[in-house]
């Protein structure tokens, strides 16, 4: 052990500074990775509240294990790995009330998300613009599903229609949003 190492271990001030530095780094990395991690979990866990729980759990594990993180690796990839294991654990411990992709497929999606994530902020801005164009029943359905975290069947009940009708409606709204986002990102649609 060098004198500096010894000092680092013994000095509360330095230890504190190192800890603060690590936490700053964790904070920076987490902010950048958050879109991909939360997207991965939310897409694979339909229950909005459980998905939020899992995002929080992953955040907790990431913070607790950050000292073990190899800085040479991709943080997003490492965090998505933790998220994948948590999702699988979630389905093992929960009564299996929905169908989920295999671990192999989850790995593929996580890998893809890592790259999509690079443009997450631009996508987000574009999506905000596109959401602003929604109105009427389509907007109501989206708000119920996303803001209020309702299941498709609950949205259907509140809008006094069938689940399959809501399913189709949500799909069409998403498709129109996706097209709008892509147009906007490609510059085909001006502000």
Partner 1 sequence: MRQENELARLASRYVDGTITGPELAELERRVLVEDGAAERLSEWCLMHRQIVDILSEDRLHDLIDQMLVGRPGPPRGVFSEVNQRRSRPKTRPGINSRYLRIRAMWPAGLAVAAGVAGLALFFWWRPTLLRVNPLAAPAFANQPNESAAAGAEGRAAVVASLTQLIDASWRSPEAALEQGQLIAAGGRVQLASGRAKVTFDCGAEVVLLGPCDFELQSSMVAILHSGRLTADVPRRAFGFGVLCPGVDLVDLGTSFGVNVEPHGETELHVFKGEVLCSPNQPRLPGAQSLIHVVENEAKHFSRDGSDSSVGDIAMDVDQFESLLALRRSATTAPAGLASQRLALWLAADRAVVTDTEGRVINWPDLLYGDNSAAEDALQPDPDARPQLAIDAINGLPAVRFDGDSDFLLTTPLETTDDQTVVFVCQFTASALDDARTWGGQIINYDGPPSRYLSDTLEPGVLQIGEPLLEADFRPTLLTSQVFAGFVGATTVEAGRVDGLEIGVGRPTLVAYTYNYGAQKSELRINGELVGTARAFAPQGITSRKIIGRHAWMQLFFHGDLAEMLIYNEALPSGQLRATSQYLADKYAIELHASP
| CA-derived radius of gyration, the chain | 21
Stretch binding partner 1 (CB under 8 A), from 3-11, 70-78, 111-119: 111-119
Among 2, 5, 72, 93, binds partner 1 (CB under 8 A): 93
Among 9, 11, 19, 65, binds partner 1 (CB under 8 A): 19
Among 7, 9, 65, 121, binds partner 1 (CB under 8 A): 121
Closest CA to 53 of 99, 94, 100, 104: 94
- DSSP per-residue letters across the chain: --HHHHHHHH-HHHHHHHHHHHHHHHHHHHHHHHHHHHHHHHHH--SHHHHHHHHHHHHHHHHHHGGG--TTS-HHHHHHHHHHHHHHHHHHHS---S----HHHHHHHHHHHHHHGGGHHHHHHHHHHHHTT--HHHHHHHIIIIIS---HHHHHHHTTS-HHHHHHHHHHHHHHHHHHHHHHHHTSS--
Among 131, 138, 159, 183, binds partner 1 (CB under 8 A): 131
Instruction: Tell me: does residue 102 bind partner 1 (CB under 8 A).
Output: yes
Among 30, 82, 140, 158, binds partner 1 (CB under 8 A): 30
Instruction: Tell me: does residue 163 bind partner 1 (CB under 8 A).
Output: yes
Stretch binding partner 1 (CB under 8 A), from 3-11, 71-79, 110-118: 110-118
d(CA 79, CA 38) in angstroms, rounded, equals 10
Query: Of the two residues 24 and 73, which places its CB atom closer to partner 1 in the complex?
Result: 24
User: Under rule CB under 8 A, which residues in 133-162 are in contact with partner 1?
Assistant: 142-143, 145-147, 151-152
User: Under rule CB under 8 A, which residues in 35-64 are in contact with partner 1?
Assistant: 35-36, 38-40, 42-44, 46-50, 52-53, 55-57, 59-60, 62-64
Query: Of the two residues 19 and 73, which places its CB atom closer to partner 1 in the complex?
Result: 19
Instruction: Tell me: does residue 184 bind partner 1 (CB under 8 A).
Output: no
Tokens standing for residue 70:
């190899």
Minimal distance in Å, beta carbon 64 to partner 1?
A: 7
Minimal distance in Å, beta carbon 149 to partner 1?
A: 8
């Amino acid at each position: 052990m060098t004198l500096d190492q010894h000092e680092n271990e013994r000095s509360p001030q330095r230890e504190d500074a190192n800890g603060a530095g690590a936490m700053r780094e964790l904070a920076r990395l987490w902010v950048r990775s958050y879109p991909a991690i939360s997207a991965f979990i939310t897409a694979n866990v339909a229950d909005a509240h459980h998905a939020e729980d899992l995002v929080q759990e992953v955040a907790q594990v990431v913070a607790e294990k950050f000292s073990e993180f190899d800085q040479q690796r991709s943080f997003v990839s490492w965090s998505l790995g933790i998220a994948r294991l948590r999702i699988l654990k979630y389905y093992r411990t929960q009564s299996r009330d929905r169908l989920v992709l295999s671990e192999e497929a989850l790995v593929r999606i996580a890998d893809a998300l890592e790259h999509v994530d690079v443009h997450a902020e631009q996508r987000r801005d574009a999506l905000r613009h596109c959401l602003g164009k929604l109105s009427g029943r389509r907007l109501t359905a989206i708000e119920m599903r996303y803001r209020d975290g309702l299941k498709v069947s609950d949205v259907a009940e509140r809008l006094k229609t069938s689940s399959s009708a809501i399913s189709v409606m949500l799909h069409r709204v998403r498709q129109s949003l996706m097209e709008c986002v892509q147009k906007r990102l490609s510059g085909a649609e001006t502000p």
